[in-house]
Structure 1
Amino acid sequence: MAESIVFGDLLDDPDRLFTSLHTVLFGMGAANLVLRAGIVERLLAGPATTEELAALGQVPQGELARVLDFLVGHAVLARQDDGHWLATPRTARLFEARGYLANCESSALMNSAWLPALRAGHSNFAEYFGQPVFAYFAANPERGALFGEFMGWMTRRVIRFLFASHRFQPFVTVADIGGSMGDLLLAVLAEYPGTRGVLFDLPETLALARPVIAASPLAERVDLVEGTFFEAVPVADLYLMKQILHDWTDEECRTILATVRRVIPARGRLVVIDHILSDPPAPDEAQSTDLAMMAWAGGRERKLAEFAALFAATGFAIERVSRNPAGHSVIEVCPV
């Protein structure tokens, strides 16, 4: 389990404060530069010279070499004695995290507008980028695709915990509501043979997910259904909602949950995968993600009692909770 970082502890040591934040800030910038320039992907295919990488990224050789030196110094890349740059196992991990790193860059930008955003009554994202996050992604599909990759990366983080700590009772059809690129759904279908899945999301999201699903050996077990969870969802006996409710206000969450409640079978189950805020507050992932949700979309993380109130108001009752101290927890509810 990752050790929690207590921000207040950094303030006790000016040297640690500077080194930690300086490294993260410029490390993130360097990582996004080489990812966006295609340099990481090129190095994963084999060693390359500075001249070749500079031409690929259309950047000056001298400045690029300094960025690459930083990444070598921080054990992300390596350099051969003949001057060729090459990938390491961490280079592949950097490539896998590209969606998250792009979203970190957006967070850093929009957080400069936090105070005026609060005063204006909307999210940091809307204040800085001029429109709400999902409208922005619809208008900028390349950024929407990166966000989808980020969601897939987050899914891979939680899958091991989910399958080890929260086994599902027998089911025939599982519907992943707002399932983005289908990473969670495909993992569940692989883990539970003989089942079928429904990937439910907005049309523009499914347009990105369709080739991913088609390339999967499980494609014949997946149906793609377009729609909005504010209006209607497909029928299934197991529903998944990963990182959905935290995007929305309590009133909007009640609307989403009521939509599922209208069609869920009597023996059906709804599984909500989200952070659960500790009470009293603790320096864990849930606390920082709560601020991230405020900044990105005006959403929030919730305490278990707050989840329970949402479920009770929409005809559900909590049946099982698997708390994950290192990330997303799992709340399974049933209709009452």
Structure 2
Amino acid sequence: MEDANAKLMELISGMWRSQILYTGVKLGVFDALAHGPKNAVRVARELDVDAGLLYRLMRALGSLELLKEDNNGNFSLTPIGELLRRDHPQTLRGVTLWEGGSLSYFAWRHLADLIKEGKQDGFVREFGWPLFEYLSQNPSHGEVFNEAMSSLSSMDNALVLEALENYDFSGISHLCDIGGGHGLTLCSLLVKYPHLRGTVLELPNVIEQKELLWADRMGVGDRCTYMSGDMFREVPPAGAYMVKRVLHDWNDEECIQILSNAHKAAPRDGRVFIMEAVVPGPDAPHLSKLLDIHMLVMATGRERTTEEYAGLLEEAGWTYRQTWYPASKMLGVVEGVKA
């Protein structure tokens, strides 16, 4: 019973943990420790906060294994804490600021009512606008969201490359990334496969900041084009398409529209790769099952099983082929071929 009580208390105190983490990132604690150990007084001076209260926060961050405190009261970053530095190449700072911030916090309080009424999208209920429309009208929140998506993209990029490590790309000459952000994953594939050309299809406001785009930074600017457009209307012709962390934002009808547009533009031997957190079978713990509730709260979308993605592909004219996974199975790459 003691183990059960301890486990349950961990779950009950989940909000404490996420808010302690959020506050540490928001105040800049992890960046302040980026170059070596410091005590709370010194960090407080740099961050212009109360030293006594900051010590208590840093001690709690230590209990979460994000910081390590020595016997002299100096704190340093743990390997996990390193991932919360702004300048870490695989930083999850942006995700922390988005998920722990006020927009997510207030949308989540509607979860019980949403389930009672059979209606998704607590964000609309709280703020009166769908998420993406709200962000377009509120640039400061949009910046936090974009930082979060960039943080996730770097993590997902490694997972996708691992999942497709043994995939034969020789039959593909042109790959289009639908909703591909700044193009990190597409450009990584272009680096690995010099015969490939690429196109990133994105909204104008995402690709207008040229300094954030990956193609030139990764040396593939001559083979990668950024195109503004609306995936619900049409997509450019390409031999294959990838859709990473996009379909889970939308309901089935909206997903079928996106996939149908790709099917229409693809050649006879076209392919599509859906890159999402694929839900495993019953009783298998997986982050996708929690992320699914997040999508229930924040949008009209959901996380799906392989069978459900295969169904969407079929409705859009594609034929499901197989699903590729990295070792962790945090993400799956669902492949469809043109029927």
Q: Per the shorter chain, which TM-score range?
A: 0.7 to 0.9
The 3 A distance-change label for structure 1 pair 72 and 164 is same
Q: For residues 167 and 2 of structure 2, what CA distance do their matches in structure 1 show?
A: 38
Whether the 8 Å CA contact 1:148–1:181 is kept in 2: the answer is no
Matching residue of 2:100:
105
Whether the 8 Å CA contact 1:117–1:127 is kept in 2: the answer is no
User: Which of 313, 317, 321 is the matching residue for 1:319?
Assistant: 321
Matching residue of 1:50:
40
The 3 A distance-change label for structure 1 pair 207 and 275 is same
How far did 1:210 drift? Answer: 4.5
SS of 1:115's equivalent?
helix
Aligned ranges 1:246-265 → 2 under 5 Å: 246-265=248-267
How far did 1:196 drift? Answer: 2.2
Q: For residues 6 and 249 of structure 2, what CA distance do their matches in structure 1 show?
A: 37
SS of 1:94's equivalent?
coil
SS of 1:70's equivalent?
helix
Percent identity, aligned pairs only? 24
SS of 2:275's equivalent?
strand
Give the structure with the larger helix fraction: 1
How far did 1:169 drift? Answer: 4.3
Q: For residues 309 and 89 of structure 1, what CA distance do their matches in structure 2 show?
A: 41
Matching residue of 2:88:
none
Q: For residues 317 and 118 of structure 2, what CA distance do their matches in structure 1 show?
A: 35
SS of 1:224's equivalent?
strand
How far did 1:203 drift? Answer: 1.4
How far did 1:180 drift? Answer: 1.8
How far did 1:200 drift? Answer: 1.4
The 3 A distance-change label for structure 1 pair 163 and 66 is same
The 3 A distance-change label for structure 1 pair 55 and 120 is farther
Q: For residues 247 and 10 of structure 2, what CA distance do their matches in structure 1 show?
A: 36
One-letter identity of the residue aligned with 1:101: T
Residue 61 (structure 1) aligned with residue 63 (structure 2):
no
SS of 1:44's equivalent?
coil
How far did 1:290 drift? Answer: 2.1
* 1:128-184 deviation per Cα after TM superposition (whole angstroms, max 9, x unaligned): 344222123222322222332243144145235323364534322211111123221
How far did 1:232 drift? Answer: 1.7
Residue 26 (structure 1) aligned with residue 16 (structure 2):
yes
Residue 14 (structure 1) aligned with residue 5 (structure 2):
yes
One-letter identity of the residue aligned with 1:69: R
Q: How many residues align?
A: 326
SS of 1:311's equivalent?
helix
Whether the 8 Å CA contact 1:182–1:209 is kept in 2: the answer is no
- Structure 1: runs of 5+ lacking an equivalent: 1-9
Q: For residues 79 and 3 of structure 2, what CA distance do their matches in structure 1 show?
A: 34
The 3 A distance-change label for structure 1 pair 88 and 212 is farther
Deviates more, 1:253-262 or 1:113-122: 113-122
Q: For residues 164 and 243 of structure 2, what CA distance do their matches in structure 1 show?
A: 16
Whether the 8 Å CA contact 2:38–2:76 is kept in 1: the answer is yes
Matching residue of 2:331:
328
Matching residue of 1:132:
130
Matching residue of 1:72:
62
Aligned ranges 1:1-336 → 2 under 5 Å: 13-22=4-13, 24-79=14-69, 83-95=73-85, 96-106=91-101, 107-118=104-115, 119=117, 121-138=119-136, 139=138, 140-156=141-157, 158-164=159-165, 166-207=167-208, 210-213=211-214, 214-280=216-282, 282-322=284-324, 326-336=329-339
**Structure 2 length-normalised TM:** 0.84
